[in-house]
Structure 1
Amino acid sequence: MPKVLISDAMDPRAAQIFRERGLEVDEITGKTKDELIAIIGDYDGLAIRSSTKVTKEVLAAATNLKVVGRAGIGVDNVDIPAASAQGVVVMNTPFGNSITTAEHAIALMFALARDLPEADKSTQAGKWEKNRFMGVEVTGKTLGLIGAGNIGSIVADRALGLKMKVVAYDPFLTPERAVEMGVEKATLDELLAKADFITLHTPLTDSTRNILSAENLAKTKKGVRIINCARGGLIDEAALKAALDSGHVAGAALDVFVTEPAKESPLFGTPGFISTPHLGASTNEAQVNVAIQVAEQMADYLMTGGVTNGLNVPSLSAEDAPKVKPYLALAEKLGSLVGQLAHDNLTKIAVELEGAAAELNSKPITGAVLAGLMRVYSDTVNMVNAPFLAKERGLEVREVRNDREGDYHTLIRVSVQTAQGERSVAGTLFANKEPRLVEIFGIKVEADLDGQMLYVVNEDAPGFIGRLGTTLGEAGVNIGTFHLGRRAAGGEAVLLLSVDQSVKPTLDKVQALPGVKTVKALSF
């Protein structure tokens, strides 16, 4: 039974769903890094929010960990490259708190427009400073949207309902999508020059860090108001304070900071500045939604192999996982075969899907091929970290789809480029579930790839099979199955034998038989 640790406070529905799905779950929150390291080795899954830091050290101690689920969007607290290298799936729940975060951004926009926090403080202090708090309307104003993804699109929809004009900057926003959203697609400089309000809804990456730098803040319209409910680090906080002090920026509202919890900041106390303690996802509805989603996603992965909202592995629905599973087994066996036979000096690998296989999600299949191939180099490799290991070794990976049916209804071909030229193997599924090798290095041969096997390339000549059987029999090796293929009569032949005992001690004797070119022990 897979075991899951919930290490941050989460709605009780999460633990309930894990148990209903047949998983064992512990709720242990508030642990220090060292305390987490001491216990994490017992768990297959780790469910977190923003408090738990899944560092390289934590992952190194998580010897059984298969998946980290973040109940929320941001995964700044997870070392994704380290997780990928260790073969741990990282997933988040990007849609569970989208409406809540978008509404918070709109709320902060109104708070800035009407100076609500200061007006509230003044009124409750017994003052009646009606003339002090002269606000601005949002109707007719231009909202600059930096990031037009899921949350940004909701903010745009709400802003359009308020009769605002929306200008959006997002490198991935297509003109067609902009028209569909009802927004004007713009460059960043165009947005900065036009916007009366700017709200940020983009992840924190190397390209977005300090996207509102001192230089870019200087490009904004005088009197602009800025809202950030996305990630700390998108705005240069020192530059923002200077812009507020100078009056160039009329107001700013931040829900997120570079350092959190933000116990102190140069922005605190600055006129025109409003702050909230990362409340973007803090509604009852959002907390329930993300807890339910992360539990369902993690349970799907641990119980069926389905991947939803994976950040370091392609998504694969729980419904599709059973269909793809036999292909993954075939792909891994083919990758393992080519890895064991032709793993030296590999520079390129191509995974070709033909017939029914071409209709499937190719990414998990390619990951499985690479997992089988890279097992030559690592005994902890899986389909999550295999692409990472392949890239680390400079291996060029190519995927090819071919919808036509050839000799088989469905086929996977794996080709590698070696110093000796291209080598390829191909396999199919019998009865849509049984992996079967059908070609090896251009020679037709049907074989199950299972257990311990002996691979022999020899000259096709009378009496060879008898001599091989005698040699193995004298060594006490029992043959389970026997598969033979050849290019042409009297030409090069291939033998694949499944055996009940290790053949490694007899390899030299087999190699010494007349006509033998290559001998290798294989393991699947």
Structure 2
Amino acid sequence: MKVIVTDEVAQEGLALLAQDPRVEIDVKLGLKKDELLAIIGEYDVIITRSGTTVDKDLLDAGKKLRMVARAGVGIDNVDVDYASSRGVIVVNAPFGNTNSAAEHAMALLLSFCRNVTKANASLKGGEWKRAPFTGVELKGKTAGVIGLGKVGGRVATRLKAFECEVLACDPYISVKRAHDLGVKLVSHEEVYKNCDIITLHTPLNDETRNMIGEREIALMKDGVILINAARGGIINEAALLAALKSNKVYGAAVDVFSQEPPRTEVLTELIAQERLVVTPHLGANTFEAQVNVAVDVSKEILHYLDDQPLENAVNIPRFDMALMDQMRPFLNLMSIMCDFGIQLVDANLEKVTFGYAGNIAHYDCSPLTVCGLSALLNRRVDQDVNMVNATLVAEGMGIAVEETKSTQTDAFSNLITLIIEGQGGKRRTVSGTLFEGAPRIVRLRDYSMDFAPAEHMLLLNYSDRPGMIGKIGTIMGEHDINIASMNLGRREEKGEAMVILSLDSAVPAEVVELVRTATEATFIKALHMPGAKCQRGCGCGI
């Protein structure tokens, strides 16, 4: 295997490859684009950082390319979609900076608690003052860690070493994972209400953007300390500024901002606050982290050579196309079912079971299983999850995965059933099939249903009685939300009913609350499923 290195990469990583007789390495730095295009056709793998653009031209010229290895987290300089279409695997190193990020979060916290930045400036300014810089200890404090992934888990361990009581919130981490770390899993609101220190370690996505705002800060203890070394935008910066000014928040330490470099009026005023310690996104800036990312991508290249699973592939490698052609409609169905099911889960995942019944059970269903896992996990962790690494990610989160098969099925020629089990015995069941190639959900829990998933949906349970459908329709009409279709399931007259509405637009939270109150719903959830807009793809990148 011939490998070309086009950007500065730590030698410790390249040494792993140099020791393998199957690998031939050429380090060619500073190549102009035409120079690189002229020689890339000789190589199987390219190792880059941010200085090389891996675009369509380069991928087309790289006739032998099998892998693009990005020695870092970001892949903005790689055309991942086109690489996928060419059957080229793209790997990165999302966790090479895990320890650096965790240590930086602790550095920020300790710097704030002991007034390190202010005392440093004072002493260097020629002063000798001690009383103004009296600090606070971590020992005995209750610390809340929101996001218990690889970085959050390390921070929790370090907080415990400082003799903090640690509460953690992460709805996608198993109780076993928390138990192994020696922390207690609680809800978001319990973290807000009970913690003296709250540190954030989640990805930035639709679910976490502005996750900490005015309402959440109002729930917190007076004098709370906030730490954000994860992603800018998780904390609403205007709300943080107001809380610092009002002394609701005693102080904060921030490494990341919604705009970088920060230039807005709000950010400028926020950064100037006396009780805020700031750094310019330094979480990954250590010499060790640079070595780690080089080692990580080199290991991925060796894993590929040895036909071992790739932990950090960000796209889908080439599968047997005959199998994929047969599975493609079911991949789409599985992706949509899992996107639907995961939004109904409000407990920590413990186990996921994928059941296949009917003709499909005669085939190898493992692509469907890993596709389902990727759909369940992709929005929940701080890395790209796909069919290459989904099983490894689930294993790391302590989630048990099971696959069952039966060639017998009563009503359908093919049936896929997803069972998601969470903490406390909570369980969600979704069954689906294909009608003329289009996904249909035919069972929820023990209710027989029949509906085509849509981008915007509303699911609710209530006690069946006259007038309920009319109340729901009236509320939707009053708020200009059009109902495209409605499906009702129930076991008996005047028993519990389950209703699923397909809507032309999203349902605001206040409208959901109006429907809950009007129907006395025992469960209600607005669902957003972008993948249901188009029924042509599989949702897995194949």
Taking structure 2 as the reference length, the TM-score comes to 0.54
Q: SS of 1:62's equivalent?
A: helix
Report the counterpart of residue 282 of structure 2 in structure 1: 279
Which whole-Å CA distance do the structure 1 matches of 2:220 and 2:259 have between them? 25
Classify 1:400/1:124 alpha carbon distance in 2 versus 1 (closer, same or farther; 3 Å): closer
Report the counterpart of residue 456 of structure 2 in structure 1: none
Q: SS of 1:128's equivalent?
A: coil
1:216-227 equivalent positions in 2, closer than 5 A? 216-227=216-227
Which whole-Å CA distance do the structure 2 matches of 1:313 and 1:46 have between them? 17
Classify 1:249/1:175 alpha carbon distance in 2 versus 1 (closer, same or farther; 3 Å): same
> Following TM superposition, by how much is the alpha carbon of 1:159 offset from its aligned partner in structure 2, in angstroms?
0.8
CA RMSD in angstroms comes to 4.5
Classify 1:119/1:185 alpha carbon distance in 2 versus 1 (closer, same or farther; 3 Å): same
Report the counterpart of residue 62 of structure 1 in structure 2: 59
Report the counterpart of residue 483 of structure 1 in structure 2: none
Report the counterpart of residue 209 of structure 1 in structure 2: 209
Amino acid at match of 1:180: D
> Following TM superposition, by how much is the alpha carbon of 1:193 offset from its aligned partner in structure 2, in angstroms?
1.8
The C-alpha deviation readout for 1:276-297, integer Å capped at 9, x for no partner, is 2332233333322221111221
Which whole-Å CA distance do the structure 2 matches of 1:173 and 1:36 have between them? 47
> Following TM superposition, by how much is the alpha carbon of 1:39 offset from its aligned partner in structure 2, in angstroms?
8.0
Structure of higher RCO (CA pairs closer than 8 Å, 6+ residues apart) = 2
Q: Does 1:363 align with 2:367?
A: yes
Q: SS of 2:273's equivalent?
A: coil
Amino acid at match of 1:283: T
2:6/2:52 contact within 8 Å kept: no
Q: SS of 2:96's equivalent?
A: coil
1:145/1:200 contact within 8 Å kept: yes
Classify 1:236/1:78 alpha carbon distance in 2 versus 1 (closer, same or farther; 3 Å): farther
1:172-251 equivalent positions in 2, closer than 5 A? 172-251=172-251
1:48/1:70 contact within 8 Å kept: yes
Q: Does 1:268 align with 2:271?
A: yes
> Following TM superposition, by how much is the alpha carbon of 1:143 offset from its aligned partner in structure 2, in angstroms?
1.0
Classify 1:40/1:206 alpha carbon distance in 2 versus 1 (closer, same or farther; 3 Å): farther
> Following TM superposition, by how much is the alpha carbon of 1:307 offset from its aligned partner in structure 2, in angstroms?
1.9
Classify 1:99/1:213 alpha carbon distance in 2 versus 1 (closer, same or farther; 3 Å): same
Classify 1:118/1:353 alpha carbon distance in 2 versus 1 (closer, same or farther; 3 Å): same
Which whole-Å CA distance do the structure 2 matches of 1:346 and 1:252 have between them? 45
Report the counterpart of residue 373 of structure 1 in structure 2: none
Q: Identical aligned pairs, as a percentage?
A: 36
> Following TM superposition, by how much is the alpha carbon of 1:219 offset from its aligned partner in structure 2, in angstroms?
3.0
> Following TM superposition, by how much is the alpha carbon of 1:208 offset from its aligned partner in structure 2, in angstroms?
1.5
Amino acid at match of 1:62: L
Structure 2: unaligned runs, 5 residues or longer:
335-355, 372-385, 391-401, 408-432, 438-542
Amino acid at match of 1:248: K
Which whole-Å CA distance do the structure 2 matches of 1:133 and 1:104 have between them? 21
Which whole-Å CA distance do the structure 2 matches of 1:293 and 1:19 have between them? 15
Which whole-Å CA distance do the structure 1 matches of 2:70 and 2:151 have between them? 17
Classify 1:214/1:41 alpha carbon distance in 2 versus 1 (closer, same or farther; 3 Å): farther
Number of aligned positions between the proteins: 354
Classify 1:82/1:108 alpha carbon distance in 2 versus 1 (closer, same or farther; 3 Å): farther
Structure 1: unaligned runs, 5 residues or longer:
315-324, 368-382, 388-398, 405-415, 421-524
1:42-191 equivalent positions in 2, closer than 5 A? 44-49=44-49, 51=50, 58-59=55-56, 61-63=58-60, 64=62, 66-73=66-73, 84=84, 87-191=87-191
> Following TM superposition, by how much is the alpha carbon of 1:354 offset from its aligned partner in structure 2, in angstroms?
7.5
Which whole-Å CA distance do the structure 2 matches of 1:239 and 1:334 have between them? 52
Q: SS of 1:198's equivalent?
A: strand
